[in-house]
């Protein structure tokens, strides 16, 4: 039996699958959201809605506090806590901007489609990181000036100058975030459009009792830690590589394989 | 956050995607009520996260990623995977120009294929289900499976190869 013939049979089989009737989710979802809006939701729903965002609470809190932070040394815990703080700031910032999600996407919500391939209309001028709160958008040169420390950049065939640079933290540039768009050779992270995020902050990575989720790896001959992509875990759903270089703690998140991520990290200078 | 006018608009958006969302969840959970809960929760979470959805990006792959995540969470908690079923043969035969015998043979073949599919591991079943049963694009399949788009084709090829081996074994047995 040829694979092509099997593919044809599978396509034909698909039209004979018996699915249960689709429930009226639209009405149920609206009812649930309306109840939230009038404060009639359950306690657990109220808890979820009071939290600023799904990704930054479920992902960051569950992963960083439960899995990652206890597994890391005090120095690293502080570093990771800083990354978590960035997410919380982001979420608060998003809420503070005031407009509800559907208000900002109103035209899309007004134009549903069964085709499934419709695109959200561009609001124009949005940055890759919008809603993630990496900090203030700056140029690479400004980041280097503000940080008063090296800002390291990957140098590979597909990565060099970042598409966007952000400076954040309590003193304005404690943390520098380089954002790269997805492209051939750089698959998108969960947040569509972003392919890789490199976060740099002063500090070091100490050896610790790393759990399986954060396995010990070598980056350019130095120690580092790798956690594979997990939709429920990573901040942007990607694999995370932590390492130390030139007095900085670096965090690289992407959907690259471990080997590819380490190769990118090894090119950073 | 959920104001009347916005939720009314969102209700229309949900209606346009609820079938594929529910079927995707059903493909993963194999259970009607779990699929309904997963899809409903996914739409609610998607609503809250719409503000971070990148402008200009397709909505459906993004939604399906959330649906699949919810479904997987419930799938893990489920006692067993019930699996897909075929519509009754006589229902399919209605309107066909084939003879009843031919229709029966075809139905048996489909049942064999579905049974062989059920013997595959979950990853193989899902990539085949996304592409051939749900008709999802490679990008949508990648989002649903939580993998890079580039790996969908290779995963599918390997899954079909394993299905073929399984079918040959069954034929020989």
Which residues of chain B fall short of a pLDDT of 70? 1-5, 52-57, 76-82, 88-98, 173
Residue A254, both tokens: 């992407």
Torsion sign, CA atoms A77, A83, A88, A92: positive
Name the minimum distance, in Å, from the CA of A18 to any CA of chain B.
5
Question: What is the 3-state secondary structure of B47-76?
Answer: HHHHHHCCCCCEHHHHHHHHHHHHHHHHHH
Q: Which two tokens stand for residue B7?
A: 């939720």
Tens of pLDDT, residue by residue over A165-184, are 988 765 555 778 899 998 88
**Alpha-carbon gap, residue B36 to A195, rounded angstroms:** 32
What pLDDT is stored for residue A49 in this prediction? 32
pLDDT number for residue B52: 66
Q: Does B98 touch chain A (CB under 8 A)?
A: no
What tens digit of pLDDT does each residue of A188-227 get?
A: 886 558 899 998 877 666 444 344 577 888 888 887 888 8
* Inter-chain touch B26–A19, beta carbons under 8 Å: yes
Closest CA to B162 of A95, A256, A3: A3
Is the model's pLDDT at A229 over the cut of 60?
A: yes
Average pLDDT, chain A: 65
What distance in Å separates the CA atoms of residue A199 and residue A177, rounded to the nearest whole number? 4
Each residue of B39-74: pLDDT tens digit? 999 999 888 887 766 655 678 888 998 999 889 887
Q: How would residue A22 be classed by pLDDT, with cut points 50, 70 and 90?
A: very high
The neighbouring-strand residues paired with A18 are B85
A133 pLDDT above the threshold of 70: no
Average pLDDT over residues A128-132: 52
- At A104, the pLDDT band (50, 70, 90 cuts) reads very low
Chain pair A-B, CB pairs under 8 angstroms: 225
Nearest to A116 among B11, B60, B113 (CB): B60
pLDDT tens digit string along A29-48? 999 988 877 654 443 333 23
Q: Is A6:B110 a contact under the CB 8 Å cutoff?
A: no
Is pLDDT at A51 greater than 90 in this prediction? no
- Cβ distance B54 to A32 less than 8 Å, yes or no, reads no
Query: Residue A153 has what pLDDT?
Result: 94
Kindly state whether A9 is in contact with chain B, defined as any CB-CB distance less than 8 angstroms. Answer: yes
- Check if the beta carbon of residue B47 is closer than 8 Å to that of residue B39: no
pLDDT at res. A205 = 60
Whether residues A192 and B32 touch (CB distance < 8 A) is answered with no
Instruction: Go through the domains of chain B in sequence order and give each one's CATH number.
Output: 4-77 (1.10.1740.10), 120-172 (1.10.10.10)
d(CA B20, CA B42): 12
Question: Is residue A69 scored above 70 in pLDDT?
Answer: no
Identify which of A7, A20, A122 has the shortest CB distance to residue B32.
Answer: A20
Residue of B nearest to A98 (CA): B1
Give the domain ranges of chain A.
Answer: 52-98+132-267
For residue A212, what pLDDT is reported? 55
A-chain CB neighbours of B140 within 8 Å are 116
pLDDT, tens digit (0-9, with 9 covering 90-100), for A230-263: 644 445 667 888 888 887 788 898 989 999 999 9
Confidence at residue A35, expressed as pLDDT on a 0 to 100 scale? 83
Q: Judge: B40–A28 Cβ closer than 8 Å, yes or no.
A: yes
Helices B59-77 and B4-29: crossing angle in degrees, nearest 10, is 50
Is some CB atom of chain A closer than 8 A to the CB atom of B161?
yes
Asked if the model's pLDDT at residue A111 lies above 50, the reply is no
Contacts of B60 in chain A (CB under 8 A): 116-118
């Amino acid at each position: 039996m040829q694979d092509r013939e099997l593919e044809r049979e599978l396509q034909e089989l698909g039209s004979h699958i018996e699915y249960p009737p689709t429930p009226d989710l639209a009405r149920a979802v609206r009812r649930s959201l309306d109840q939230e809006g009038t404060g009639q939701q359950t306690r657990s729903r109220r808890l979820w809605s009071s939290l600023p965002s799904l990704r930054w609470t479920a992902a960051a809190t569950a992963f960083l506090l439960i899995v990652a932070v206890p597994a890391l040394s005090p120095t690293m815990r502080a570093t990771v806590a800083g990354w978590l703080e960035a997410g919380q700031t982001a979420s608060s910032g998003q809420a503070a901007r005031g407009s509800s999600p559907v208000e900002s996407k109103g035209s899309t919500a007004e134009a549903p489609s069964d085709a499934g391939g419709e695109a959200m209309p561009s609001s124009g001028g949005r940055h890759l990181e919008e809603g993630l709160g990496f900090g203030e958008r700056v140029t690479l040169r400004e980041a280097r000036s503000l940080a008063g420390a090296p800002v390291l950049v990957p140098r590979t065939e597909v990565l060099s100058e970042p598409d966007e640079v952000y400076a954040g933290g309590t003193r304005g540039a404690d943390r520098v975030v380089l954002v790269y768009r997805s492209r051939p050779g750089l698959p998108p992270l969960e947040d569509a459009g972003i392919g890789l995020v490199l976060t740099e902050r002063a500090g070091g990575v100490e050896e610790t009792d790393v759990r399986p989720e954060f396995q010990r790896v070598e980056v350019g001959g130095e120690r580092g830690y790798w956690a594979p992509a997990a939709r429920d875990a990573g901040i942007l759903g990607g694999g995370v590589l932590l390492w130390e270089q030139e007095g900085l703690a670096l965090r690289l998140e992407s959907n690259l394989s471990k080997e590819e991520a380490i190769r990118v990290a090894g090119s950073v200078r | 956050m959920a104001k009347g006018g916005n939720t009314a608009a969102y209700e229309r958006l949900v209606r346009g995607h609820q079938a594929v969302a529910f079927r995707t969840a059903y493909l993963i959970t194999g259970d009607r009520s779990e699929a309904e809960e997963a899809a409903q929760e996914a739409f609610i979470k998607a609503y809250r996260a719409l503000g971070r959805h990148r402008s200009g990006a397709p909505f459906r792959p993004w939604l399906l990623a959330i649906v699949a995540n919810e479904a997987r969470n419930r799938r893990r908690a489920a006692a067993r995977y019930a699996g897909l079923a075929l519509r009754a043969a006589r229902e399919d035969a209605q309107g066909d120009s084939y003879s009843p015998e031919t229709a029966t043979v075809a139905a048996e073949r489909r049942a064999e294929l579905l049974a062989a599919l059920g013997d595959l591991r979950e990853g193989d079943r899902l990539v085949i289900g996304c592409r051939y049963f749900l008709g999802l694009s490679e990008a949508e399949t990648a989002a649903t499976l939580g993998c890079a788009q580039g790996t969908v084709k290779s995963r599918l090829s390997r899954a079909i190869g394993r299905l073929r081996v399984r079918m040959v074994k069954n034929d020989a047995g």
